Structure 1
Amino acid sequence: MAEIIFQNKDDAEKFHHHLLKVLKLTSENEKILLHEDRHILKIMENKLTHDCLNHIRKAFYDFVIEVKRDDWFKGILAENYYFQDPEEQGHVMEIIYSILEGERKDLEIFLEKTSQEQRIKEAIDQVFQDNISLSFDSFIKFRLRPYLLDLESYVKISIDEYKMEQEYQIFVQTLREFLQERTPKMEILHLLLDEEIIFYNENSEEIKRGELIKMIDRKLLSNHPVYVDSASIAPLLSIAPTTIFLYTKNPDEALVRTISNIFEERVRVLPFHHFYDQFQCMNWENSSDPFENGQ
């Protein structure tokens, strides 16, 4: 027989439902019951088979990793960082899971490399023997403390990222509003983004750095000294071109995303080599036709 005691009724019912699902049983099954005000789950088998024990062990592990992890993340958000709003919690949770799923390598580097999942499995193996009798809450408190501390690290990093993203959105919106009030100084601007950013006019003639500096609206730098890059964003906003052709080797680069977010439909992101293809075409078109001169 197996007995798992829960302090929380909701936890008991969630695990009961989860276990029935794993074992493919109905809630009316008499071998797995919730007793005493639905706080104690009992598996009514005189002797648990090896297969049955493995199913229960796996169900318990999945319950901790998949079901309770969400509860713990939300609890840390609400109790430790006062994120009570469900929408805000949802945004932070999206960042957390993007890290867990390996989509945010830039944030992973700030987290200590651990193998908590393996430790959880080992801890479960120690308590899940032939006859199981354990307190779920004591198990979590004493055996999974390092894991819970890990979860708090994920929350802290994700909150910092969420706040930065909020600031970034405000920054982008402010610059969009600034852009709407500008009269374009050029219809077409070409940007070549390599190790540095180079500006070209519609004739593919390079606009020198000194000329760009003269074009910059000083209000931009005084109002947004931290966020506005004087080498790229400030001259772009000051020129306010109708169309920007941006040539890059990496369309996912942060500067490319920022320019696209600010200038929106004005931007066309193109492969890096397209600039040189276009430049050669323009040189060919501007050169005299040798056959016209009888050559």
Structure 2
Amino acid sequence: MEIDFDTRQEAAEFYRRLPSSLRQVTGVMLINSRLAVFPEKTTDYKEFAQLIARYICERYEKKWVMAIIENYYYFTDPEEQVAILNIVSAIFAGEKNDLPQTEVLEDRRTIIMDSLEGILQEHHSVSFTSIVRFRLTAYRKALRRYVEIAIDEYKLEQEYQVFIDKLRRIIRAYKPLCEKIEVYDEQPFKLYDERHHLIRNIQSVRSFYPILKQWGIEAEPSIVLSLIALAPKQVIVYTDRPDHGVMKTLHRVFEDRVCFVPSSLHLTSGNRVSQ
């Protein structure tokens, strides 16, 4: 079997990436811009297909993803393109498995291999350029699906950031109603003022939800909005889950006003004073 490359340099680059063990087993030879391969069994074809798939991903994938982002979905701003590309890369790396629909995505290298194995076994001579241009339709379609999911996530992240920015501005725009609030991460959350008095009816403190509507925010009651209604100068949160989504949102909104402390350090219930 022979694989023809456009240039000797490209052939040599691919040859150098081959494991020495595979070169010996399959008798790979570099001849100008061609690789001569002498696989002995079906598993050799499979391993060779895996190597070609990896080479294609490493050499072309980023460029193709960027082209899809710009030419199919019309994102032309470089910063937006890079942000979407980073999300795609995170999906490839398995770091975004919690995103909707990622669980049904096929592994893109498996798609390439499925396209390659038959070609390698059925043809005595193949053109690498022809493979890249004409034989990877399913793979390119899969890349578009990855990009679609990444764009949806990017838009959600942008909306979330706008939401966070509005909440920060609200905190800065209104006078704090208390110096310090202590939050106990329980079911439900409990809030205490600086005198350790339980804050019971937070919404009665300030006509807060009409204020939110003035800022263009439609939201359900939450611990985050409750704290914003009080706009304390300092928030101490007793929790054993500082990486939880709610805690991350609190940190983004209140920034250096918030401090997370292990639950074991909070006052015992006997020391709390309830109103």
| TM superposition score normalised by structure 2 | 0.78
1:202 shift after superposition: 2.0
For residues 257 and 13 of structure 1, the distance between their equivalents in structure 2, rounded to whole angstroms, comes to 52
For residues 31 and 141 of structure 1, the distance between their equivalents in structure 2, rounded to whole angstroms, comes to 23
For residues 122 and 178 of structure 2, the distance between their equivalents in structure 1, rounded to whole angstroms, comes to 79
Q: Structure 1: give runs of 5+ residues left out of the alignment.
A: 7-11, 34-40, 287-295
For residues 13 and 196 of structure 1, the distance between their equivalents in structure 2, rounded to whole angstroms, comes to 68
Larger CA deviation: 121-130 vs 73-82? 121-130
Q: Is the 8 A contact 2:97 2:103 kept in 1?
A: no
| Residue number in structure 2 paired with 1:66 | 58
The C-alpha deviation readout for 1:159-207, integer Å capped at 9, x for no partner, is 1111121222222222222222322211110122334332221233221
| Residue number in structure 2 paired with 1:38 | none
SS in 2 for 1:215: coil
For residues 85 and 137 of structure 2, the distance between their equivalents in structure 1, rounded to whole angstroms, comes to 21
Structure 1 pair 216–66 and aligned structure 2 pair: CA distance change class (3 A): farther
Structure 1 pair 159–103 and aligned structure 2 pair: CA distance change class (3 A): same
For residues 161 and 189 of structure 1, the distance between their equivalents in structure 2, rounded to whole angstroms, comes to 33
| Residue number in structure 1 paired with 2:213 | 221
| Residue number in structure 2 paired with 1:75 | 67
For residues 157 and 239 of structure 2, the distance between their equivalents in structure 1, rounded to whole angstroms, comes to 24
| Residue number in structure 1 paired with 2:24 | none
SS in 1 for 2:248: helix
- Summarize the alignment of residues 276-291 of structure 1 with structure 2, pairs less than 5 Å apart: 278-280=267-269, 282=271
1:19 shift after superposition: 0.8
For residues 80 and 145 of structure 1, the distance between their equivalents in structure 2, rounded to whole angstroms, comes to 15
| Residue number in structure 1 paired with 2:203 | 212
**Correspondence 1:21 to 2:16:** yes
Partner AA of 1:246 in structure 2: V
For residues 258 and 222 of structure 1, the distance between their equivalents in structure 2, rounded to whole angstroms, comes to 21
| Residue number in structure 1 paired with 2:2 | 2
Structure 1 pair 60–110 and aligned structure 2 pair: CA distance change class (3 A): closer
| Residue number in structure 2 paired with 1:264 | 255
Counterpart selection for 1:234 from 225, 229, 247? 225
1:132 shift after superposition: 4.5
For residues 261 and 60 of structure 1, the distance between their equivalents in structure 2, rounded to whole angstroms, comes to 44
CA-based RMSD: 3.2
- Summarize the alignment of residues 48-67 of structure 1 with structure 2, pairs less than 5 Å apart: 48-50=37-39, 57-67=49-59
Identity among equivalent positions (%) equals 25
- Summarize the alignment of residues 82-93 of structure 1 with structure 2, pairs less than 5 Å apart: 82-93=74-85
For residues 214 and 49 of structure 1, the distance between their equivalents in structure 2, rounded to whole angstroms, comes to 80
Q: Is the 8 A contact 2:88 2:147 kept in 1?
A: yes
| TM superposition score normalised by structure 1 | 0.74
Partner AA of 1:19 in structure 2: F
For residues 280 and 147 of structure 1, the distance between their equivalents in structure 2, rounded to whole angstroms, comes to 59
- Summarize the alignment of residues 1-295 of structure 1 with structure 2, pairs less than 5 Å apart: 2-4=2-4, 15-16=10-11, 18-23=13-18, 31-33=30-32, 41-43=33-35, 45=36, 48-50=37-39, 57-107=49-99, 109-129=101-121, 132-136=124-128, 138-140=130-132, 143-209=135-201, 211-217=202-208, 218-226=210-218, 228-275=219-266, 278-280=267-269, 282=271
| Residue number in structure 2 paired with 1:289 | none
Larger radius of gyration: 1
SS in 2 for 1:166: helix
Partner AA of 1:2 in structure 2: E
Partner AA of 1:272 in structure 2: S
Q: Is the 8 A contact 2:177 2:232 kept in 1?
A: yes
1:105 shift after superposition: 2.3
Q: How many residues align?
A: 260
Q: Structure 2: give runs of 5+ residues left out of the alignment.
A: 21-28
1:24 shift after superposition: 8.8
Partner AA of 1:84 in structure 2: T
1:23 shift after superposition: 4.7
For residues 122 and 172 of structure 1, the distance between their equivalents in structure 2, rounded to whole angstroms, comes to 45
For residues 141 and 217 of structure 2, the distance between their equivalents in structure 1, rounded to whole angstroms, comes to 38
Structure 1 pair 190–174 and aligned structure 2 pair: CA distance change class (3 A): same
